[in-house]
Amino acid sequence: MARQSSAKARTAVRIRFRPLSSAKTYKALPLYRFCNFWRKTQLIPKNNASFMKYSQLFGVLACIAQVLVCFMPWSFVAEQNILITGMNSAVRDYGKPGLVNIILSSVMSLFFIIPTIWAKRINVVIAAINIAWSVRNFLLMSVCYGGECPQKRAGIYLLMAVSIFILIMTFMPPIKVEQKQK
């Protein structure tokens, strides 16, 4: 709420703002009413503790899903009739790109289970490396070689989605930090 004040009509006008101190002023905002409605219906929790409580379980399940996605078809080269998966050993050019994702997923699932702060911090770094490796696999499996362009399958998209979901779950550990008393 702004008010104008001046000594004379011809002098400069100063605008003063009153602080929004009462809760009644906030309730007048339509966004507050909208959010308050959804909180009353329990679709939006009052705090993130209810979701964060299960974030480590979701992280472990996502690591298991990433291991399964590594065995799904990632791309298909129609000219050579080759179906490429994350654990493909039939083609020497591609190797086993999903093996690194499987190793990182197993280490991340171990760190999801360990309830210490250092494990959660290391888990964020490992999840970032996992996303970088997944982006590398996405680029490697979808690029054209010598005029042969592979068709991307659902597995490569799922790999990216699960990797991003794992990184999000590493940001939400339910660790209670004790404050030091002075």
Two tokens at 9?
A: 């009509």
Phi and psi angles of residue 75, each rounded to the nearest 5 degrees, phi first:
-155, 165
pTM: 0.68
Q: Which two tokens stand for residue 182?
A: 């002075």
- pLDDT tens string 35-88: 555 455 444 455 555 556 788 899 999 999 999 999 999 998 888 888 888 888
**pLDDT tens digits for 122-166?**
999 999 999 999 999 999 888 888 888 889 999 999 999 999 999
Residue of 75, 106, 40, 169 lying closest to 85 (CA atoms): 75
pLDDT at 1: 52
Query: Which sequence spans correspond to the domains of the chain?
Result: 53-170
